[in-house]
Amino acid sequence: MKVSPAPTDPSDPMHADCPGREVFKLITGRWSLLILWSLKSGPVRFHRIRDTVEGISERVLSSSLKDLCRHGLISRHVDPSVPPKVSYSLTQSGEGLLDITDQLTGWIARELDNIDAAKRRYDRAQ
């Protein structure tokens, strides 16, 4: 008698069918957290975000903003002026994510010397 495997838990990110993987991929991408961080003080316009997040291209920023809006982490507001003024701000979900990010950046700040020392040891051994 063949025993079928137990069904996978869809909330476990280690499984390929986990719906949270898409969100995990978004927030661990190269630019997402930096963009969210740039909105920490309130609504910001596109070019201000681009200037704040050094190294990001306009194309990548535009795509990232769309993804963050789609996932409900930021909102896009269009001021009906000529030309229209578009600004972005954190949603409640985005603010919650930044609370977690503050913990991560605090950990990085505390561990940076240890991490740099580990990199130097590793590089010397190679």
For 40-95, how does the pLDDT look when each residue is reduced to its tens digit (9 = 90+)? 999 999 999 999 999 999 999 999 999 999 999 999 999 989 888 999 999 999 99
**Whole-Å CA distances, 77 to 2, 19, 22, 70, 115:** 57, 28, 25, 14, 40
Cis peptide before 10 (omega within 30 of 0): no
Lowest mean pLDDT among 17-21, 60-64, 109-113, 117-121: 17-21
Percent above pLDDT 70 for the chain: 92
User: What is residue 18's predicted lDDT score, i.e. its pLDDT?
Assistant: 85
pLDDT in the model for residue 108: 94
pLDDT of residue 5 exceeding 90, the answer is no
Q: Where are the domains of the chain?
A: 20-125
Question: Collapsing DSSP states into helix, strand and coil, what is residue 55?
Answer: coil
Q: Around 75, how many Cα atoms within 13 Å sit in the side-chain half-sphere?
A: 11
Mean pLDDT of 14-27: 87
Q: Cα–Cα distance between 122 and 72 in angstroms, integer?
A: 40
Instruction: Read off the tokens for 10.
Output: 């869809």
Confidence bin at 12 (pLDDT 50/70/90):
confident
pLDDT given for residue 1 in this prediction: 60
Determine the CATH number of domain 20-125.
Answer: 1.10.10.10
Mean pLDDT of 10-17: 79
Scanning the chain, the segments in alpha helix (DSSP H) are 20-27, 32-38, 46-52, 58-70, 92-125
pLDDT of residue 73: 98
| pLDDT above 80: residue 23 | yes
